[in-house]
Amino acid sequence: MKDYKVAVVAGDGIGPEIMAEAKKVLDAAGEVFDFKIEYKDELIGGIAYDNTGTPLPDKTVQTAKEADAVMLGAVGDWKYDTLPPEVRPERALLGIRKALGLFANLRPAIVWDELVSSSPLKPENVSGVDIMIIRELTGDVYFGEPKGVEVRLDKDGNGTRYGFNNMIYSEDEVRRIARIAFETAMVRNKKLCSVDKANVLDVSRLWREVILEVAADYPEVELSHMYVDNAAMQLIRAPKQFDTIVTGNIFGDILSDEASMLSGSLGLLPSASLGEDAKTALYEPIHGSAPDLRGKDVVNPIATILSAGMMLKYSFKMDEAYNLIEKSIKDVLKDGFRTADIMSEGKELIGTRKMGDLIKEKLLKAK
Ligand code: IPM
Ligand code: MG
């Protein structure tokens, strides 16, 4: 039997409860596919700040580095909104991505037939959507220097506050995410759309140049470029035109939340964050910590369960296990069970734990 060590950072808000469901499903997959996961729980986010004075303790980073993979729930709570920026929970999320060198964030947005009716968009527009958004994760305006809020004096000596960040990419940073994007497009439908704002931003001009350079090595991939404002519009107007999308950190953050609405809920989108070295990877739902819903057993654990599935696929090369998890989820949906976020008429409303239990049961039946 194969053994894996997985660092688990459940974080804040609904993090712990969605993570519990993911572990449940992973353990069931272990029974079916004969592997065992040893979980090492560590603190991250607000809870880490409360307990240790920092949102990203060294011990957490250490455990994450030593593990075969990392699973993350969510971070953040309004009660930390007044903390100085360097100890806010979100800082821990950016910090762990940076510390592990996770520059490639894969965010699949797939509309399953079972959920077409959950989408606020017309069924004929969203049915069959299968998009892979590849978001650069360790550069851009998120990390660029200089940044800050400061008082600057005008010529009369009057102070005015300025807030600023730097949208910056080096060619190497663009090249490595471009490679992942082209490689991903090659194993999908060989169609890649690079999203930028090259009509206005210099940083995007470089982005586009480098994408074009890398494209020379992938003549089979049909490459297109789209400005981010147009992409935001096209994602709603005609999402089926997209297969693989590659974009920078901030555009990817925004477009992936938008894309989640094609499938009807933020509670459905998983993600994988990969680094240079195949050993380090982190899996997390794209949604946040929803502190108002914490402990109520109402949120959808599917994004986190799918993220765990992506871990089996990308880190442990168990495609079959991923497929079975996906199938089990679809079967539960086919049976008519829904959490509140994807509820529609005639379906049966269930909670977080029940959703996890049902998916687990489906999986075990395959044994
Ligand atoms: C995400 C989140 C994070 C981000 C926040 C919480 C820092 O929105 O993972 O998409 O902006 O990357
Ligand atoms: Mg986001």
Superfamily of domain 120-140+169-263: Response regulator (3.40.50.2300)
229 noted as active-site residue? yes
Residue 268: what pLDDT? 95
Q: With a 6 A CB cut-off, is 286 part of the ligand 1 pocket?
A: yes
The residues of the chain scoring below 70 in pLDDT are: none
Residue 300: what pLDDT? 98
Domain residues of the chain, as ranges?
Answer: 1-105+265-367, 120-140+169-263
Which residues have CB atoms below 5 A from the ion given as ligand 2?
A: 253
Residues 256 and 235: their CA atoms lie apart, in Å, by: 10
Axis-axis angle for helices 89-99, 58-66 (nearest 10):
40
Tokens of 170: 């080096």
Query: Could you read off the pLDDT of 235-246 as tens digits, one per residue?
Result: 999 999 999 999
Catalytic residue among 27, 41, 68, 257: 257
Query: Could you read off the pLDDT of 92-140 as tens digits, one per residue?
Result: 999 999 999 999 999 999 999 999 988 999 999 999 999 999 999 999 9
Look at ligand 1, atom 10, and give the residue with the nearest C-alpha: 253
Residue 276: what pLDDT? 87
Gap from CA of 235 to ligand 2 centroid (Å): 17
Gap from CA of 252 to ligand 1 centroid (Å): 10
Residue 277: what pLDDT? 79
Residue 162: what pLDDT? 97
Axis-axis angle for helices 352-365, 15-33 (nearest 10):
10
Fold for 1-105+265-367, please state it: Isopropylmalate Dehydrogenase (3.40.718)
Residue 294: what pLDDT? 97
197 noted as active-site residue? yes
142 noted as active-site residue? yes
Work out the mean pLDDT of the chain and round it to a whole number: 96
Catalytic residue among 49, 142, 169, 218: 142
Report H helices in the chain. 15-33, 46-52, 58-66, 89-99, 123-126, 171-187, 202-215, 228-237, 249-260, 302-310, 319-334, 352-365
